[in-house]
Protein backbone atom coordinates (compact mmCIF):
# COMPACT_ATOMS: atom_id res chain seq x y z
CA UNK A 1 0.00 0.00 0.00
CA UNK A 2 1.09 3.52 -0.80
CA UNK A 3 1.46 5.79 2.18
CA UNK A 4 -1.31 8.35 2.39
CA UNK A 5 0.71 11.01 4.13
CA UNK A 6 3.99 10.46 2.24
CA UNK A 7 5.86 11.06 5.47
CA UNK A 8 7.06 7.54 6.20
CA UNK A 9 10.65 6.67 5.43
CA UNK A 10 11.36 3.70 3.22
CA UNK A 11 13.69 1.31 5.05
CA UNK A 12 16.42 -0.27 2.95
CA UNK A 13 18.62 -3.25 3.66
CA UNK A 14 21.70 -1.65 2.12
CA UNK A 15 25.10 -3.00 3.33
CA UNK A 16 27.14 -0.45 5.29
CA UNK A 17 30.51 0.59 3.95
CA UNK A 18 33.75 0.54 6.01
CA UNK A 19 33.39 4.18 7.18
CA UNK A 20 29.97 3.42 8.57
CA UNK A 21 30.99 0.06 9.94
CA UNK A 22 33.54 1.41 12.43
CA UNK A 23 30.74 3.51 14.08
CA UNK A 24 33.25 5.98 15.50
CA UNK A 25 32.02 9.01 13.48
CA UNK A 26 28.44 8.25 14.44
CA UNK A 27 29.45 8.01 18.11
CA UNK A 28 31.25 11.36 17.91
CA UNK A 29 28.26 13.03 16.26
CA UNK A 30 25.94 11.63 18.91
CA UNK A 31 28.21 12.65 21.79
CA UNK A 32 28.57 16.16 20.40
CA UNK A 33 24.77 16.52 20.54
CA UNK A 34 24.82 15.39 24.16
CA UNK A 35 27.65 17.70 25.14
CA UNK A 36 26.00 20.66 23.41
CA UNK A 37 22.97 20.19 25.63
CA UNK A 38 25.13 20.43 28.76
CA UNK A 39 25.65 24.13 28.03
CA UNK A 40 22.08 24.89 27.07
CA UNK A 41 19.43 26.25 29.41
CA UNK A 42 17.70 23.40 31.23
CA UNK A 43 14.07 22.76 30.38
CA UNK A 44 13.37 20.60 33.41
CA UNK A 45 13.18 21.58 37.05
CA UNK A 46 13.86 19.64 40.25
CA UNK A 47 10.19 19.21 41.02
CA UNK A 48 9.56 18.77 44.71
CA UNK A 49 12.17 21.38 45.69
CA UNK A 50 11.37 23.79 42.89
CA UNK A 51 7.94 24.48 41.50
CA UNK A 52 6.93 26.29 38.37
CA UNK A 53 5.16 29.61 38.55
CA UNK A 54 1.48 28.94 38.14
CA UNK A 55 -0.97 31.24 36.45
CA UNK A 56 -3.31 33.04 38.83
CA UNK A 57 -6.21 31.17 37.34
CA UNK A 58 -4.61 27.73 37.30
CA UNK A 59 -7.23 25.06 37.85
CA UNK A 60 -6.01 22.62 40.48
CA UNK A 61 -7.49 21.11 43.62
CA UNK A 62 -10.89 22.40 44.69
CA UNK A 63 -11.70 24.30 47.83
CA UNK A 64 -15.06 24.64 49.57
CA UNK A 65 -15.18 28.21 50.81
CA UNK A 66 -16.52 29.56 54.07
CA UNK A 67 -18.05 32.99 54.43
CA UNK A 68 -16.64 35.82 56.54
CA UNK A 69 -18.14 34.38 59.70
CA UNK A 70 -16.67 30.94 59.08
CA UNK A 71 -19.89 29.28 57.99
CA UNK A 72 -19.95 26.87 55.08
CA UNK A 73 -21.27 28.49 51.95
CA UNK A 74 -22.30 25.31 50.17
CA UNK A 75 -26.03 24.54 50.30
CA UNK A 76 -25.87 21.29 48.35
CA UNK A 77 -27.94 22.69 45.50
CA UNK A 78 -26.47 20.14 43.11
CA UNK A 79 -25.71 22.56 40.29
CA UNK A 80 -21.99 21.69 40.31
CA UNK A 81 -22.82 18.01 40.13
CA UNK A 82 -25.08 18.47 37.12
CA UNK A 83 -22.64 20.83 35.42
CA UNK A 84 -19.77 18.37 35.89
CA UNK A 85 -19.04 16.69 32.53
CA UNK A 86 -17.05 13.95 34.24
CA UNK A 87 -19.71 13.28 36.88
CA UNK A 88 -17.10 13.43 39.60
CA UNK A 89 -19.18 15.15 42.27
CA UNK A 90 -21.41 13.38 44.76
CA UNK A 91 -23.33 15.12 47.51
CA UNK A 92 -25.89 14.39 50.16
CA UNK A 93 -27.82 17.26 51.66
CA UNK A 94 -28.96 17.63 55.23
CA UNK A 95 -31.06 20.09 57.15
CA UNK A 96 -29.45 22.50 59.56
CA UNK A 97 -30.60 21.97 63.12
CA UNK A 98 -31.26 24.81 65.55
CA UNK A 99 -27.97 25.78 67.16
CA UNK A 100 -25.87 25.07 64.07
CA UNK A 101 -26.32 28.54 62.61
CA UNK A 102 -22.64 29.29 63.17
CA UNK A 103 -21.62 26.28 61.09
CA UNK A 104 -23.81 26.50 58.01
CA UNK A 105 -25.00 29.61 56.30
CA UNK A 106 -28.36 28.37 55.09
CA UNK A 107 -30.94 25.91 56.28
CA UNK A 108 -29.60 23.22 53.99
CA UNK A 109 -26.00 22.10 53.83
CA UNK A 110 -23.93 19.33 52.27
CA UNK A 111 -23.50 16.53 54.81
CA UNK A 112 -21.38 14.60 52.32
CA UNK A 113 -19.53 16.30 49.50
CA UNK A 114 -17.15 14.18 47.51
CA UNK A 115 -15.09 14.87 44.42
CA UNK A 116 -13.46 11.93 42.73
CA UNK A 117 -10.12 13.40 41.70
CA UNK A 118 -9.47 10.63 39.19
CA UNK A 119 -12.66 11.42 37.35
CA UNK A 120 -12.25 15.18 37.62
CA UNK A 121 -10.88 16.84 34.49
CA UNK A 122 -10.32 20.23 36.19
CA UNK A 123 -12.46 22.08 33.68
CA UNK A 124 -13.81 24.54 36.25
CA UNK A 125 -17.47 24.20 35.29
CA UNK A 126 -18.42 23.49 38.92
CA UNK A 127 -16.95 26.81 39.90
CA UNK A 128 -18.88 28.50 37.13
CA UNK A 129 -22.17 26.83 38.06
CA UNK A 130 -22.02 27.56 41.78
CA UNK A 131 -24.63 30.17 42.75
CA UNK A 132 -23.27 30.55 46.27
CA UNK A 133 -19.59 31.13 45.48
CA UNK A 134 -18.83 28.05 47.51
CA UNK A 135 -16.55 26.01 45.28
CA UNK A 136 -13.39 27.28 43.64
CA UNK A 137 -10.39 25.68 42.02
CA UNK A 138 -7.02 26.59 43.48
CA UNK A 139 -3.39 26.58 42.46
CA UNK A 140 -2.74 23.59 44.68
CA UNK A 141 -2.03 20.28 42.97
CA UNK A 142 -3.66 16.96 43.69
CA UNK A 143 -0.85 14.74 45.00
CA UNK A 144 -0.36 11.21 43.74
CA UNK A 145 -1.51 8.32 45.89
CA UNK A 146 -1.02 4.59 46.01
CA UNK A 147 -4.70 3.70 46.35
CA UNK A 148 -7.62 4.75 44.19
CA UNK A 149 -9.95 5.13 47.16
CA UNK A 150 -7.84 7.94 48.55
CA UNK A 151 -8.58 10.11 45.52
CA UNK A 152 -12.16 10.53 46.72
CA UNK A 153 -11.79 13.86 48.46
CA UNK A 154 -14.44 14.52 51.06
CA UNK A 155 -15.27 17.61 53.02
CA UNK A 156 -12.36 16.97 55.41
CA UNK A 157 -9.89 17.77 52.63
CA UNK A 158 -11.87 20.20 50.50
CA UNK A 159 -13.25 22.54 53.15
CA UNK A 160 -11.08 25.54 53.88
CA UNK A 161 -9.94 26.10 57.48
CA UNK A 162 -12.04 28.29 59.77
CA UNK A 163 -8.98 30.19 60.97
CA UNK A 164 -9.04 33.55 59.10
CA UNK A 165 -5.26 33.44 58.68
CA UNK A 166 -5.37 30.18 56.79
CA UNK A 167 -8.14 31.08 54.36
CA UNK A 168 -7.52 30.47 50.68
CA UNK A 169 -7.60 33.62 48.60
CA UNK A 170 -9.60 33.22 45.42
CA UNK A 171 -10.16 36.87 44.54
CA UNK A 172 -7.76 36.59 41.60
CA UNK A 173 -9.97 33.95 40.03
CA UNK A 174 -12.84 36.38 39.81
CA UNK A 175 -12.87 38.75 36.91
CA UNK A 176 -13.23 42.50 37.30
CA UNK A 177 -16.78 42.24 36.04
CA UNK A 178 -17.72 39.72 38.73
CA UNK A 179 -16.19 41.80 41.52
CA UNK A 180 -17.97 44.85 40.15
CA UNK A 181 -21.22 42.90 39.97
CA UNK A 182 -20.88 41.86 43.60
CA UNK A 183 -20.58 45.46 44.71
CA UNK A 184 -24.02 46.29 43.30
CA UNK A 185 -26.41 45.48 46.13
CA UNK A 186 -29.47 45.28 43.95
CA UNK A 187 -28.00 42.54 41.81
CA UNK A 188 -26.62 40.48 44.66
CA UNK A 189 -28.06 36.98 44.92
CA UNK A 190 -26.50 36.08 48.25
CA UNK A 191 -27.33 37.79 51.47
CA UNK B 1 -69.30 26.71 18.73
CA UNK B 2 -67.50 30.02 18.44
CA UNK B 3 -64.52 30.94 16.34
CA UNK B 4 -61.62 32.66 18.05
CA UNK B 5 -58.27 33.80 16.65
CA UNK B 6 -55.27 33.70 18.96
CA UNK B 7 -52.00 35.04 17.59
CA UNK B 8 -53.31 34.65 14.01
CA UNK B 9 -54.29 31.01 14.57
CA UNK B 10 -58.01 30.32 14.37
CA UNK B 11 -59.79 27.61 16.31
CA UNK B 12 -63.39 26.69 16.99
CA UNK B 13 -64.21 26.07 20.60
CA UNK B 14 -67.35 25.57 22.65
CA UNK B 15 -69.29 28.50 23.98
CA UNK B 16 -68.11 29.67 27.38
CA UNK B 17 -64.56 28.39 27.04
CA UNK B 18 -61.95 30.66 28.56
CA UNK B 19 -59.31 32.19 26.27
CA UNK B 20 -56.56 30.26 28.08
CA UNK B 21 -58.31 26.94 27.46
CA UNK B 22 -58.78 27.81 23.78
CA UNK B 23 -55.06 28.66 23.54
CA UNK B 24 -54.18 25.36 25.21
CA UNK B 25 -56.21 23.57 22.53
CA UNK B 26 -53.98 25.18 19.92
CA UNK B 27 -50.88 24.50 21.99
CA UNK B 28 -47.31 25.59 21.42
CA UNK B 29 -45.71 28.86 22.31
CA UNK B 30 -48.86 30.94 22.15
CA UNK B 31 -50.28 29.50 25.37
CA UNK B 32 -50.20 32.15 28.11
CA UNK B 33 -48.42 30.97 31.26
CA UNK B 34 -50.57 30.52 34.35
CA UNK B 35 -49.53 30.53 37.96
CA UNK B 36 -52.89 30.47 39.74
CA UNK B 37 -55.25 28.91 37.21
CA UNK B 38 -55.65 25.14 37.56
CA UNK B 39 -57.97 23.52 35.08
CA UNK B 40 -58.59 20.53 37.36
CA UNK B 41 -60.03 22.77 40.06
CA UNK B 42 -63.13 24.95 39.80
CA UNK B 43 -63.11 28.72 40.27
CA UNK B 44 -59.34 29.08 40.14
CA UNK B 45 -57.65 31.87 38.23
CA UNK B 46 -57.70 35.63 38.04
CA UNK B 47 -55.20 36.20 40.82
CA UNK B 48 -51.65 36.09 39.52
CA UNK B 49 -52.18 38.11 36.29
CA UNK B 50 -49.43 36.24 34.40
CA UNK B 51 -51.90 35.11 31.76
CA UNK B 52 -52.83 38.64 30.66
CA UNK B 53 -53.58 38.91 26.93
CA UNK B 54 -54.70 41.66 24.62
CA UNK B 55 -58.11 41.39 23.01
CA UNK B 56 -57.82 43.28 19.73
CA UNK B 57 -61.39 42.60 18.66
CA UNK B 58 -64.05 41.68 21.21
CA UNK B 59 -66.39 39.85 18.84
CA UNK B 60 -67.63 39.91 15.28
CA UNK B 61 -70.71 41.88 16.40
CA UNK B 62 -68.71 44.48 18.34
CA UNK B 63 -65.18 44.61 16.94
CA UNK B 64 -63.92 47.27 19.36
CA UNK B 65 -60.84 46.19 21.34
CA UNK B 66 -61.09 45.66 25.08
CA UNK B 67 -59.73 48.73 26.88
CA UNK B 68 -57.25 46.89 29.09
CA UNK B 69 -55.36 43.65 29.03
CA UNK B 70 -57.57 40.85 30.29
CA UNK B 71 -56.82 37.74 32.30
CA UNK B 72 -57.17 34.96 29.76
CA UNK B 73 -57.96 32.33 32.39
CA UNK B 74 -61.20 34.01 33.36
CA UNK B 75 -62.37 35.74 30.18
CA UNK B 76 -64.76 33.65 28.07
CA UNK B 77 -64.36 33.69 24.32
CA UNK B 78 -66.85 35.29 21.97
CA UNK B 79 -67.49 34.59 18.35
CA UNK B 80 -64.95 36.37 16.14
CA UNK B 81 -62.71 37.37 19.01
CA UNK B 82 -59.14 38.28 18.05
CA UNK B 83 -56.60 37.75 20.81
CA UNK B 84 -52.94 38.72 20.84
CA UNK B 85 -50.52 37.02 23.19
CA UNK B 86 -46.88 36.76 22.13
CA UNK B 87 -47.50 38.87 19.03
CA UNK B 88 -48.24 41.91 21.18
CA UNK B 89 -45.37 43.80 22.75
CA UNK B 90 -47.74 45.31 25.28
CA UNK B 91 -48.57 41.85 26.64
CA UNK B 92 -44.96 40.78 26.87
CA UNK B 93 -44.02 43.99 28.66
CA UNK B 94 -46.89 43.58 31.08
CA UNK B 95 -45.93 40.00 31.76
CA UNK B 96 -42.36 41.01 32.44
CA UNK B 97 -43.63 43.52 34.98
CA UNK B 98 -45.87 40.89 36.57
CA UNK B 99 -42.89 38.56 36.99
CA UNK B 100 -41.00 41.37 38.66
CA UNK B 101 -43.95 41.91 40.99
CA UNK B 102 -44.18 38.23 41.86
CA UNK B 103 -40.47 38.20 42.64
CA UNK B 104 -40.59 41.25 44.93
CA UNK B 105 -41.16 39.16 48.01
CA UNK B 106 -39.89 35.86 46.68
CA UNK B 107 -36.71 34.95 48.57
CA UNK B 108 -34.93 33.44 45.52
CA UNK B 109 -33.56 30.62 47.65
CA UNK B 110 -33.71 28.20 44.73
CA UNK B 111 -30.46 26.44 45.77
CA UNK B 112 -32.19 25.45 49.01
CA UNK B 113 -35.73 24.99 47.73
CA UNK B 114 -36.99 21.50 46.94
CA UNK B 115 -39.20 22.79 44.14
CA UNK B 116 -36.26 24.05 42.07
CA UNK B 117 -36.21 22.38 38.68
CA UNK B 118 -39.97 21.97 38.48
CA UNK B 119 -40.96 25.39 39.75
CA UNK B 120 -43.41 27.39 37.62
CA UNK B 121 -42.08 30.69 38.91
CA UNK B 122 -38.53 29.67 38.03
CA UNK B 123 -39.58 28.83 34.47
CA UNK B 124 -41.60 32.02 34.21
CA UNK B 125 -38.82 34.28 35.39
CA UNK B 126 -36.38 32.61 33.02
CA UNK B 127 -38.73 33.17 30.12
CA UNK B 128 -39.90 36.69 30.84
CA UNK B 129 -38.05 38.10 33.80
CA UNK B 130 -35.18 40.41 34.15
CA UNK B 131 -32.00 39.16 35.77
CA UNK B 132 -31.91 41.80 38.50
CA UNK B 133 -34.41 43.22 40.94
CA UNK B 134 -35.01 46.92 41.48
CA UNK B 135 -36.52 46.32 44.89
CA UNK B 136 -34.26 47.48 47.69
CA UNK B 137 -36.54 47.16 50.68
CA UNK B 138 -36.42 44.09 52.87
CA UNK B 139 -38.48 41.10 51.90
CA UNK B 140 -41.23 39.84 54.19
CA UNK B 141 -39.99 36.94 56.22
CA UNK B 142 -41.79 34.18 58.02
CA UNK B 143 -40.43 31.12 59.79
CA UNK B 144 -41.00 27.83 57.99
CA UNK B 145 -43.63 25.79 59.78
CA UNK B 146 -44.78 22.19 59.66
CA UNK B 147 -48.44 21.85 58.86
CA UNK B 148 -49.08 18.24 59.66
CA UNK B 149 -46.50 15.51 59.61
CA UNK B 150 -46.15 15.54 55.84
CA UNK B 151 -46.24 19.13 54.63
CA UNK B 152 -43.82 21.97 55.21
CA UNK B 153 -44.94 25.54 54.67
CA UNK B 154 -42.47 28.21 53.60
CA UNK B 155 -44.57 31.33 53.60
CA UNK B 156 -41.62 33.35 52.22
CA UNK B 157 -42.00 31.67 48.86
CA UNK B 158 -45.77 31.95 48.53
CA UNK B 159 -47.21 34.00 45.67
CA UNK B 160 -50.84 33.97 46.94
CA UNK B 161 -52.28 31.94 44.10
CA UNK B 162 -54.97 30.30 46.27
CA UNK B 163 -54.53 26.93 44.53
CA UNK B 164 -53.99 25.10 47.82
CA UNK B 165 -57.12 26.68 49.27
CA UNK B 166 -59.15 25.41 46.32
CA UNK B 167 -57.59 21.96 46.62
CA UNK B 168 -58.61 21.80 50.26
CA UNK B 169 -62.09 23.12 49.49
CA UNK B 170 -62.82 20.82 46.60
CA UNK B 171 -61.00 17.61 47.47
CA UNK B 172 -61.30 17.41 51.23
CA UNK B 173 -64.41 17.63 53.36
CA UNK B 174 -63.03 20.18 55.78
CA UNK B 175 -60.54 22.87 55.07
CA UNK B 176 -58.31 23.79 57.99
CA UNK B 177 -55.97 26.25 56.31
CA UNK B 178 -56.52 29.47 54.45
CA UNK B 179 -55.43 33.02 53.74
CA UNK B 180 -55.00 35.44 56.61
CA UNK B 181 -54.73 39.24 56.61
CA UNK B 182 -54.71 41.45 53.56
CA UNK B 183 -52.50 42.69 50.78
CA UNK B 184 -48.80 42.70 51.52
CA UNK B 185 -49.09 40.90 54.84
CA UNK B 186 -51.36 38.21 53.44
CA UNK B 187 -50.27 34.73 54.45
CA UNK B 188 -51.35 31.14 54.18
CA UNK B 189 -51.64 29.38 57.49
CA UNK B 190 -53.69 27.05 59.61
CA UNK B 191 -56.05 27.97 62.43
CA UNK B 192 -53.93 28.06 65.63
CA UNK B 193 -51.21 25.63 64.50
CA UNK B 194 -53.80 23.21 63.24
CA UNK B 195 -52.58 20.22 61.32
CA UNK B 196 -53.57 19.45 57.79
CA UNK B 197 -54.11 15.71 57.83
CA UNK B 198 -56.93 15.00 55.42
CA UNK B 199 -56.38 12.05 53.12
CA UNK B 200 -56.08 14.24 50.05
CA UNK B 201 -54.23 17.14 51.63
CA UNK B 202 -50.94 16.09 50.00
CA UNK B 203 -52.24 17.38 46.69
CA UNK B 204 -51.55 20.94 47.78
CA UNK B 205 -47.86 20.10 47.23
CA UNK B 206 -48.47 19.27 43.59
CA UNK B 207 -50.79 22.21 43.10
CA UNK B 208 -48.42 24.76 44.62
CA UNK B 209 -46.67 26.48 41.69
CA UNK B 210 -43.72 27.49 43.89
CA UNK B 211 -41.93 25.83 46.78
CA UNK B 212 -44.21 27.21 49.49
CA UNK B 213 -45.74 23.83 50.22
CA UNK B 214 -43.27 20.98 50.03
CA UNK B 215 -43.11 17.33 50.94
CA UNK B 216 -41.55 16.76 54.36
CA UNK B 217 -40.73 13.13 53.56
CA UNK B 218 -38.64 14.34 50.62
CA UNK B 219 -37.20 17.39 52.33
CA UNK B 220 -33.61 18.03 51.13
CA UNK B 221 -33.21 14.39 50.13
CA UNK B 222 -32.14 15.07 46.59
CA UNK B 223 -32.62 17.49 43.74
CA UNK B 224 -35.37 16.67 41.26
CA UNK B 225 -32.98 16.53 38.33
CA UNK B 226 -30.94 13.74 39.89
CA UNK B 227 -34.02 11.54 40.14
CA UNK B 228 -35.63 9.44 37.45
CA UNK B 229 -39.36 9.94 37.07
CA UNK B 230 -41.12 6.64 36.52
CA UNK B 231 -44.80 5.98 36.01
CA UNK B 232 -46.14 3.51 38.51
CA UNK B 233 -49.48 2.40 39.88
CA UNK B 234 -50.92 0.39 42.73
CA UNK B 235 -54.36 -0.66 43.78
CA UNK B 236 -55.66 1.93 46.14
CA UNK B 237 -59.19 2.10 47.49
CA UNK B 238 -59.04 5.84 48.07
CA UNK B 239 -57.63 7.21 44.82
CA UNK B 240 -56.74 6.11 41.30
CA UNK B 241 -53.29 4.98 42.45
CA UNK B 242 -51.60 6.28 39.30
CA UNK B 243 -48.49 8.20 40.26
CA UNK B 244 -45.02 9.23 39.19
CA UNK B 245 -42.33 7.69 41.35
CA UNK B 246 -39.10 9.66 41.53
CA UNK B 247 -36.33 7.14 41.85
CA UNK B 248 -32.64 7.23 42.61
CA UNK B 249 -31.11 3.87 41.80
CA UNK B 250 -33.58 1.35 43.16
CA UNK B 251 -34.97 3.60 45.83
CA UNK B 252 -38.14 5.64 45.60
CA UNK B 253 -37.39 9.09 46.97
CA UNK B 254 -40.80 10.60 46.50
CA UNK B 255 -44.19 10.08 44.89
CA UNK B 256 -46.14 12.76 43.04
CA UNK B 257 -49.18 12.87 40.85
CA UNK B 258 -48.65 12.59 37.12
CA UNK B 259 -48.23 16.09 35.80
CA UNK B 260 -49.33 16.92 32.28
CA UNK B 261 -47.69 19.40 29.92
CA UNK B 262 -49.28 22.36 31.71
CA UNK B 263 -47.84 21.27 35.05
CA UNK B 264 -51.21 20.15 36.37
CA UNK B 265 -51.76 16.72 37.82
CA UNK B 266 -53.80 14.33 35.71
CA UNK B 267 -55.50 12.80 38.72
CA UNK B 268 -55.26 13.63 42.40
CA UNK B 269 -53.75 10.98 44.64
CA UNK B 270 -54.22 10.17 48.30
CA UNK B 271 -51.75 10.69 51.12
CA UNK B 272 -51.18 6.98 51.62
CA UNK B 273 -49.90 6.61 48.06
CA UNK B 274 -47.91 9.81 48.27
CA UNK B 275 -46.21 9.54 51.62
CA UNK B 276 -46.37 6.02 52.95
CA UNK B 277 -45.60 3.77 50.01
CA UNK B 278 -41.92 4.32 49.34
CA UNK B 279 -40.95 0.69 48.85
CA UNK B 280 -40.40 -0.47 45.30
CA UNK B 281 -42.42 -3.63 46.00
CA UNK B 282 -45.53 -1.53 46.66
CA UNK B 283 -45.71 -0.40 43.04
CA UNK B 284 -46.21 -1.78 39.58
CA UNK B 285 -43.66 -0.02 37.40
CA UNK B 286 -45.03 1.06 34.02
CA UNK B 287 -41.97 2.73 32.54
CA UNK B 288 -40.14 6.03 32.39
CA UNK B 289 -42.19 9.19 32.44
CA UNK B 290 -41.76 11.37 29.37
CA UNK B 291 -40.26 14.68 30.39
CA UNK B 292 -39.77 17.63 28.09
CA UNK B 293 -36.28 17.62 26.67
CA UNK B 294 -35.81 21.26 27.62
CA UNK B 295 -36.52 20.51 31.27
CA UNK B 296 -33.60 20.23 33.65
CA UNK B 297 -35.20 17.02 34.91
CA UNK B 298 -34.30 15.27 31.68
CA UNK B 299 -30.64 16.32 31.94
CA UNK B 300 -27.91 13.69 32.28
CA UNK B 301 -30.21 10.74 31.70
CA UNK B 302 -28.56 9.09 28.77
CA UNK B 303 -29.10 5.58 30.02
CA UNK B 304 -32.15 3.92 28.56
CA UNK B 305 -34.51 2.83 31.27
CA UNK B 306 -36.03 -0.62 30.90
CA UNK B 307 -39.13 -2.06 32.48
CA UNK B 308 -38.43 -4.97 34.85
CA UNK B 309 -40.07 -7.48 32.51
CA UNK B 310 -38.07 -6.27 29.49
CA UNK B 311 -34.77 -7.80 28.61
Chain B interface includes A79 (CB < 8 A): yes
Task: Confirm whether A6 is domain-assigned.
Answer: no
**What does the pLDDT read at residue A56?**
86
- Separation of alpha carbons B229 and B223, rounded Å: 12
Which of A72, A74, A77, A191 has the most B C-beta neighbours within 10 Å, making it the best mutation to test the interface with B?
A77
**What does the pLDDT read at residue B308?**
61
CATH 3.90.78.10 describes domain B106-218 = no
Question: How open is the CA angle B230-B235-B236, to the nearest 5 degrees?
Answer: 105
**What does the pLDDT read at residue A152?**
94
Q: What is the mean pLDDT of residues A13-30?
A: 91
The answer to whether B214 and B112 are in contact (CB under 8 A) is: no
**What does the pLDDT read at residue B72?**
93
Residue A191 has pLDDT above 60, yes or no: no
**What does the pLDDT read at residue A72?**
93
Residue span(s) of chain B under CATH 3.10.20.740 come to: 2-101
Which of A16-25, A49-58, B139-148, B289-298 comes out lowest in average pLDDT? B289-298
User: How far does the CA of residue B132 sit from the closest CA of chain A (Å)?
Assistant: 5
Dihedral sign (CA B178, B181, B183, B189): negative
Chain A interface includes B221 (CB < 8 A): yes
Q: Which is it for strands B52-57 and B81-84: parallel, antiparallel or unpaired?
A: antiparallel
**What does the pLDDT read at residue A38?**
92
Which of A101-110, A175-184, B5-14 comes out lowest in average pLDDT? A175-184
**What does the pLDDT read at residue A51?**
84
Q: Which residue would you say has higher pLDDT here, A161 or B190?
A: A161
> What do you get for the CA distance between the two ends of chain A, in Å?
69
**What does the pLDDT read at residue B96?**
92
B136 and A108: CB-CB below 8 Å? no
Q: What is the pLDDT of residues A64-104, one digit of tens each?
A: 999 888 999 999 999 999 899 888 999 999 999 989 989 99
Does the structure's ipTM exceed the value 0.90?
no
- Closest C-alpha to B179, from B201, B209, B155: B155
**What does the pLDDT read at residue B303?**
52
Chain A interface includes B186 (CB < 8 A): no
Task: Confirm whether A170 is domain-assigned.
Answer: yes
B300 and A189: CB-CB below 8 Å? no
Chain B interface includes A106 (CB < 8 A): yes
Q: What is the pLDDT of residues A143-157, one digit of tens each?
A: 999 999 999 999 999
The answer to whether B115 and B207 are in contact (CB under 8 A) is: no
Q: Across the interface, which of B134, B220, B225 has its CB nearest the CB of A108?
A: B220
Task: Confirm whether A13 is domain-assigned.
Answer: no
Chain A interface includes B295 (CB < 8 A): no
CATH at residue A101: 3.30.70.3270
**What does the pLDDT read at residue A32?**
97
pLDDT, averaged per 10 consecutive residues of chain B (311 residues), comes to 92 93 91 92 90 93 92 92 93 92 88 91 85 79 87 90 89 81 78 73 91 92 90 91 91 92 90 91 90 74 57 52
Task: Confirm whether A80 is domain-assigned.
Answer: yes
User: How far does the CA of residue B66 sit from the closest CA of chain A (Å)?
Assistant: 37
**Closest residue on chain B to A77 (Cα):** B111
A186 and B112: CB-CB below 8 Å? no
Q: What is the domain extent for residue A123?
A: 62-187
Task: Match domain B2-101 to its CATH number in 3.30.420.40, 3.10.20.740, 3.20.20.450, 3.55.50.30.
Answer: 3.10.20.740
The domain tally of chain A equals 1
**What does the pLDDT read at residue B174?**
79
- Closest C-alpha to B37, from B162, B191, B192, B206: B162
**What does the pLDDT read at residue B256?**
94
A78 and B225: CB-CB below 8 Å? yes
A79 and B111: CB-CB below 8 Å? yes
Residues of A in contact with B112 (CB under 8 A): 75, 77, 106-108
Q: Across the interface, which of B111, B135, B299 has its CB nearest the CB of A77?
A: B111
pLDDT band with cut points at 50, 70 and 90 for residue A39 = very high
A108 and B225: CB-CB below 8 Å? no
A95 and B219: CB-CB below 8 Å? yes
- Closest C-alpha to B180, from B170, B169, B168, B165: B165
Q: What is the mean pLDDT of residues A9-18?
A: 85
Residue span(s) of chain B under CATH 3.30.70.20 come to: 106-218
Strand partners, B291: none
Task: Confirm whether A90 is domain-assigned.
Answer: yes
User: How far does the CA of residue B277 sit from the closest CA of chain A (Å)?
Assistant: 22
Amino acid sequence: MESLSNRSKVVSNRKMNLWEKIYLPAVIIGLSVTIKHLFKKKVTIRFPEETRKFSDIYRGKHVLKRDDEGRERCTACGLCAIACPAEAIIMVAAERKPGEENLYREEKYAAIYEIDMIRCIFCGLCEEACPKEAIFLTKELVPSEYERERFKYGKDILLEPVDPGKRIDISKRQTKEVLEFKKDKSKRHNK
Amino acid sequence: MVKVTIDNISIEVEDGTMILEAARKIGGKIVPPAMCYYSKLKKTGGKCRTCLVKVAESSSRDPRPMPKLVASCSTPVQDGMVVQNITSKEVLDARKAIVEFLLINHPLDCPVCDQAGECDLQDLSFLHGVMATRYEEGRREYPAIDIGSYIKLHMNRCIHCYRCVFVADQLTDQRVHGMFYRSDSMEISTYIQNVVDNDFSGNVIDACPVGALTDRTFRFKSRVWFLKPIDAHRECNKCCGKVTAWMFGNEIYRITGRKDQWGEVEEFICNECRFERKEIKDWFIEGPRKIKRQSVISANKYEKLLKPNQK
